[in-house]
Amino acid sequence: MSKKRCTFVLLMLAALALGSILLAACARPGTPGASAGTGPSSSATSSSGGGEPTVHLGAANFVQPSVDVPKGSKLMLIEDVAVLHILSNGSWVNGSPRPAKEPGAPTINNLQVSGNVEIGPFPTAGTFHIYCSIHENMNLTIIVK
């Protein structure tokens, strides 16, 4: 009888411990996919309603030519038109693709974008360039500060 109760108590303790481990895992900030700063550590967001910066991709262009990214943040690429883009470090210059990777830039090497893709993080302040090798003059300037 008392042995049975003891087992029950142990089981309850085990369940509690497991529960708190799961809770701690869920509450960890920076989990991918967890959206829009409800966490306590969202003091880094300076403007534009929180969340990471985004750039939209049209049929053959970046909808905006440049984007500001807070240092350490990632950049979300959002495809507005269902067209494949292949992105790399560098830019189009006078009608020719010029691969080039600035120091401190995250490596982007023939990244196929169909749907939404996150690039980065961008740990270093500076100006970085990416381009789409399929679409002439499809350049994006990323300003990290």
d(CA 143, CA 66): 7
Of the candidate residues 77, 88, 131, 135, the single one contacting Cu ion (CB under 5 A)? 135
| Strand stretches in 8-138, DSSP E | 54-57, 66-69, 75-79, 85-93, 96-99, 111-113, 117-119, 126-132
Site string for Cu ion, 68-107 (x = CB under 5 A): -----------------x----------------------
Beta carbon of residue 85, minimum distance to Cu ion (angstroms, whole number): 3
Nearer to Cu ion, 108 or 132 (CB): 132
Are 120 and 100 contacting, i.e. CB atoms less than 8 angstroms apart? Answer: no
Provide the binding-site residues for Cu ion, judged by CB under 5 A: 85, 132, 134-135, 138
